[in-house]
Structure 1
Amino acid sequence: MKTRKRLLLLLLGMLACSAAAEAIEPISTSIAVGMAAALTGFLASYQNILYYFNECCRSEWISFNRTGLEADLENKLFGQHIASRIVLKAVNGFMSNENPKKPLVLSLHGWTGTGKNFVSQLIGESIYREGMASSFVHIFTSELHFPHSGQIETYKAQLQQWIKGNVSNCARSMFIFDEMDKMHPGLIDGIKPYLDYYDKLDGISYRKAIFIFLSNAGGERITQTALDFWTAGRNREEMELRDLETDLSLSVFNNKKSGLWHTSLIDKNLVDFFVPFLPLEYRHVVQCVLAEMKARGNTSGMKVADQVARDVIYFPKSERVFAVKGCKGIESKLDYYT
Structure 2
Amino acid sequence: MEVARPEMEAAHKALPGARQRISMVTSPLRAACRIRHKYLVMKKRRGFGTEQSEPAGGEGSGAGRCPPLKGQEASERPLRRKAKPAEYFTFEKPTVRPLKRRRSSKRRKVLYPNGTRKYLPEEKKSKAKYCLFLLSIIVCFQIYNAIENLDDNVLKYDLVGLEKTLKREVFGQPASIDSLMNLLKDYLATHIHNKPLVLSLNGPIGVGKSLVGRLLAKHFRSVLSDQLVYQYFVLHHCPTRQGIDSCQQEMAGGISDMVNRAEEEEKIPLLIFDEVEFMQPALLDFLQNYFQPNQTNEFLNAVYVLISNYGQGEITKFVLHNGSSGMLRQPAKSEELLFVVQSTLVNSHPLWKHADIIPFTLLERAHVLDCFLEEMMREGFYPDTAHLEELSRELNYYSVGDRQYSVLGCKQVVSKVNLLH
TM (normalized to structure 1)? 0.70
Instruction: Measure how far apart 1:189 and its partner are.
Output: 1.8
Q: Does 1:210 align with 2:299?
A: no
Which of 165, 170, 176 does residue 83 from structure 1 map onto? 176
| Conserved? CA contact 1:180–1:213, under 8 Å | yes
Q: Which string of whole-angstrom CA distances, capped at 9 and with x for unpartnered residues, describes residues 189-209 of structure 1?
A: 213332222351xxx612222
Contact 2:217–2:229 (CA under 8 A) maintained in structure 1: yes
Q: Could you tell me how far apart the structure 2 residues matched to 1:305 and 1:238 are?
A: 31
Is 1:329 paired with 2:412?
Answer: yes
- 8 A Cα contact 2:157 2:223, kept in partner: no
1:183-230: per-residue Cα shift (whole Å, max 9, x none)? 112312213332222351xxx612222111111110110111111112
Residue 190 (structure 1) aligned with residue 190 (structure 2): no
Moved more, 84-93 or 169-178: 169-178
Name the CA distance, whole Å, in 2 between partners of 1:111 and 1:69. Answer: 24
Partner of 2:349: 262
Q: Which amino acid aligns with 2:349?
A: H
Which deviates the most, 166-175 or 233-242? 233-242
2: CA distance, partners of 1:297 / 1:91: 35
| Number of the residue aligned with 1:236 | 328
Alpha-carbon spacing, 1:218–1:74, altered in 2? closer, same or farther (3 Å): same
Query: Identity, % of aligned pairs?
Result: 25
Identify the residue that residue 55 of structure 1 maps to in structure 2: none
Which of 364, 380, 384 does residue 281 from structure 1 map onto? 364
For residue 358 of structure 2, give the secondary structure of its aligned residue in structure 1.
strand
Contact 1:63/1:128, CA 8 A, preserved across alignment: no
| Aligned residue number for residue 301 of structure 1 | 384
Residue correspondences, number? 264
Offset from partner CA, 1:56-81 (integer Å, 9 cap, x none): xxx9xx93112212212222211112
Give the superposition deviation at 1:236: 3.4
What CA distance in whole angstroms lies between the structure 2 residues aligned with 1:155 and 1:124?
22
Q: Post-superposition shift, 1:274?
A: 0.7
Please point out which of 252, 255, 274 is paired with 1:178: 274
Measure, in 2, the Cα distance between the counterparts of 1:205 and 1:198.
12
Moved more, 64-73 or 317-326: 317-326
Aligned residue among 189, 192, 217 for 1:124 = 217
Output the CA distance in 1 between the equivalents of 2:399 and 2:334. 24
Counterpart CA distance in 1 for 2:215 and 2:190 is: 20
- The one-letter code matched in structure 1 to 2:290 is Y
The answer on 1:221 being equivalent to 2:317 is no
**Structure 1's 298 and 237: CA in aligned 2 closer, same or farther, altered over 3 A?**
farther
Change (3 A) 1:160 1:125: same
Q: Is the 8 A contact 2:234 2:275 kept in 1?
A: yes
Say whether the 8 Å CA contact 1:314–1:320 is kept in structure 2: no
SS at match of 1:309: helix
Match of residue 105, structure 1, among 171, 177, 198: 198
Output the aligned Cα RMSD. Answer: 2.7
In the TM superposition, what is the alpha-carbon distance from 1:284 to its structure 2 partner? 0.6
Cα offset, 1:129, TM superposition: 1.0
Instruction: Measure the CA separation in 2 of the matches of 1:67 and 1:123.
Output: 13
1:251 corresponds in structure 2 to: 344
Partner of 1:123, secondary structure, is helix
1:214 match: secondary structure: strand
Change (3 A) 1:128 1:158: closer
Q: Which has the higher contact order (CA 8 A, sep 6+)?
A: 1
Give the match's secondary structure for 1:144: helix
Alpha-carbon distance between aligned partners in 1 of 2:329 and 2:403, rounded to the nearest angstrom: 19
Aligned to 2:394: 311
Measured in 2, the distance between the counterparts of 1:63 and 1:120 equals 20
Greater shift, 94-103 or 236-245, is seen at 236-245
CA positional deviation for 1:319: 7.8
Offset of residue 286 of structure 1? 0.5
Rg larger in structure: 2
Provide the secondary structure at the position in 2 that maps to 1:129. helix
**Mapped contact 1:103–1:208 kept (Cα < 8 A):** yes
Q: Offset at 1:253? A: 2.6
For structure 1, the residue ranges without an aligned partner over 5 or more in a row are 1-58, 255-260
Deviation digits for residues 155-210 of structure 1, max 9, x if unmatched?
Answer: 2233222211221122432221111111112312213332222351xxx6122221
- The match for 1:65 is 158
C-alpha distance in 2 between matches for 1:198 and 1:113: 37
3-state SS, counterpart of residue 192 of structure 2? coil
Counterpart of 1:156 (choices 209, 225, 248) is: 248
Change (3 A) 1:235 1:302: farther
